[in-house]
Amino acid sequence: MTAACEHPAFAPNLSVPASASPWPRAMKVRRWFATGENIVLATLLAAMVALPLVEIALRQFSSGIPSAPEFLRHLTLWVGMLGGAIAARDKRLLALATAHHLPSGRLATFAHRLATAAATAVSAMLAVASSRFVLEERAGGAALAYGIPLWVVQLALPLGFATIAVRIAWQSDKAWRRRATTVVLAALLVIGATYLPTGFALAALVLAMACGAPIFVALGGAALILFTGHDVPITAVAIDHYGLVTNPALPAIPLFTLAGYFMAEGGASRRLVRVFQALTGWMRGGPAIATALICAFFTAFTGGSGVTILALGGLLMPVLAAARFSDRDALGLLTGAGSLGILLPPCLPVILYAIIAKVDINTMFLGGLLPGLLLIALTAAWGVWAGRRNTSSVPAFDFAEARAAVIDAEWEMLLPVVSLAALFSGWATPVEAAAVTAAYAFVIEVVIHRDLRLGRDCPRVMAEAGVLVGGILLILGVALGLTNYLIDAQVPDAFATWSLENIKSPWLFLLGLNVVLIVVGSVVEIFAAIVVVVPLLIPVGLRLGIDPVHLGIIFLANMELGFLAPPIGLNLLLASSRLHRPVTEVARATLPLLGVMFIGVLLITYFPPLTTWLPQLFSRSTP
């Protein structure tokens, strides 16, 4: 999940009964087609899991499957584009929630029209840029493997962006006349962005984003406008998108996401809550400790705090209420704990930072382990302190219940062992470890516990994971285009020079960085922030002598705090929606924990051994 929400203009589409439509046959065809798309997406994800597993098995007897990494990288491309197209179909493209609070009426109508027109325009231009890229690749005559032309596989880019553009325009309104208006307005926006000054075009894009345009539209549109304004072919945006999405390490993101979805959609949340409650409920403040641990576990394996709050909010609030926590303290604890685990393996932001910063993924995981545990401990300690006013007797430790709970959830509790063993044992690459984790989660929920049915539930869960992956990869790909423009314009070098001239102390730089990143994390989607902001920071960090791993953990820890920063931090919005509370009430309840976690971030910042000790220890022990 990301620091963005699904604006009502891009919210999940509600199915319409065939009888309610004047064209029931057309509605039935659309449902069949949608089902087919979901099945194809689930099949592609299944292939992404199976290919590394077969590769691991065959490697024991031979060199493995020829060109397997190439196929896996391009499967990621197809999963990303198909997932993005389905997200557009279901109105689930990730967007900021700013337009959600606009009053109904002309202002809301204008906001919706501008957002959909901008989204249509940018998606269409990305399709044009991708088409030019594919035509150039076709002329080059490169092959993927086994004689398959590379350009045929790359067709996913223009087809995907064109489908997204058509679907956004189609869903802009029910009336054909208003849909045509959206298309005309989109064309005018393209013309304006081409011939008007760059500043005006960027201002219009910012306004469209505030009105609810998807995040990938804002980032991709900015890249297109800046490249056009400096006479650089827009094909560069498609090239950058393709280069990032087919990065050899990137398949780990959809695979770990799939593992998290199997856990979240099955009965894992219920079983794990029971375990941690049984093991800690006998202690004073035990439910707070259990909340911190279970949230960190889920966030680490689902990729972000969104799934954690949505999956666990309804389970943990009654537990905290039964333990006599005040409503405010329980709300603040659950909202704050939802972001725990981002620093722990195998969480997706750590993987992406390693890719962008060109740092070893396993080293990043080792660097984030102690800081992640520190934030969990501080959150649990605050929860214990907040529950101190409860003078009721604490139940005695029930060994029989604890034993039964552990036995019931033993397979889920082994998931970190399986994942980390695959990651750090050396017998599997990070991508293969992700495939092992996804397969293990599948076996737990489908074969062992049978919470998910193979034919009925698995395609749905896999399609849901693919839609989230598609939304994320759309953002990542176009964000790299914007980043590369900034690099070509020497913005990182200029920023590094300015910092060195005006900030002599690395500690002062890091303090200012903490404050800025918390603000950035509250308004910018975390994956986009990694792709756009990290390349600006790395040169400065290197010149100031800051270890890239340490800088990365500081960056991610601040992004974690940004989820809690008012007024529109992701966790505040999700907790407000899930628990049916006003955002202002959630923000007030979370402020004390935000302060406690900020102390933890300062400790991570100014005590580098928390981050560097484990990587150095393992590097010395590795021959």
Q: Residue 363's Cα: distance from chain center in Å?
A: 21
Residue 568 is given by DSSP the state T
What's the pLDDT score for residue 97? 52
Confidence of residue 79 (pLDDT cuts 50, 70, 90): very high
What's the pLDDT score for residue 101? 53
Confidence of residue 153 (pLDDT cuts 50, 70, 90): very high
Residue 582 sits at φ, ψ, to 5 deg, of -65, 145
When mean pLDDT is compared over 319-328, 403-412, 483-492, 580-589, the highest value belongs to 403-412
- Residue 260 sits at the vertex; the CA angle it makes with 256 and 262, to the nearest 5 degrees, is 115
In the predicted model, is pLDDT for residue 609 greater than 50? yes
What's the pLDDT score for residue 20? 44
Give pLDDT tens digits for 255-311: 988 988 898 888 888 888 888 888 887 777 788 888 899 888 888 877 665 667 777
What's the pLDDT score for residue 535? 87
Report the SS3 class of residue 95: strand
What's the pLDDT score for residue 579? 77
**Residue 312 token pair:** 């666990």
Give pLDDT tens digits for 193-232: 888 888 888 998 988 888 888 889 988 999 999 998 888 8
Q: Is residue 494 part of a domain?
A: yes
Radius of gyration of the chain (CA): 24
Q: Is residue 556 part of a domain?
A: yes
In the predicted model, is pLDDT for residue 5 greater than 50? no
Instruction: Provide the domain limits for residue 541.
Output: 252-621
Confidence of residue 612 (pLDDT cuts 50, 70, 90): very high
Q: Is residue 244 part of a domain?
A: no
Give pLDDT tens digits for 30-61: 888 888 999 999 999 999 999 999 988 887 77
What's the pLDDT score for residue 13? 40
Total domains in the fold of the chain? 1
Confidence of residue 96 (pLDDT cuts 50, 70, 90): low
Q: Is residue 50 part of a domain?
A: no
The arithmetic mean of pLDDT across residues 328-354, rounded, is: 88
Q: Which among 268, 209, 267 is positioned nearest to 4, based on CA atoms?
A: 209
What's the pLDDT score for residue 17? 41
Least confident of 114-118, 537-541, 551-555: 537-541
What's the pLDDT score for residue 367? 94
Q: Which among 381, 398, 388, 283 is positioned nearest to 337, based on CA atoms?
A: 381
Enter the pTM of the model: 0.84
Q: 166 CB contacts (<8 Å, ≥6 apart)?
A: none
* Higher per-residue confidence, 513 vs 155: 155
Give pLDDT tens digits for 556-577: 998 888 888 886 677 787 787 7
What's the pLDDT score for residue 23? 56
Helix, strand and coil content of the chain, in percent to the nearest 5, comes to: 75, 0, 20
Q: Is residue 127 part of a domain?
A: no
In the predicted model, is pLDDT for residue 622 greater than 80? no
Query: What is the overall mean pLDDT for the chain?
Result: 84
Give pLDDT tens digits for 460-473: 999 998 998 898 89
Q: Is residue 504 part of a domain?
A: yes
- Reported as half-sphere exposure (CB side, CA atoms, 13 A), residue 494 has a value of 6
Percent over 70 (pLDDT), the chain: 92
Give pLDDT tens digits for 405-460: 999 989 988 988 888 888 777 778 888 988 999 999 999 999 999 999 988 899 99
Q: Alpha-carbon distance 527 to 476, whole Å?
A: 7
Confidence of residue 102 (pLDDT cuts 50, 70, 90): low
In the predicted model, is pLDDT for residue 543 greater than 70? yes
What's the pLDDT score for residue 15? 38
Lookup result for tokens 């929860």: 383
Q: Is residue 19 part of a domain?
A: no
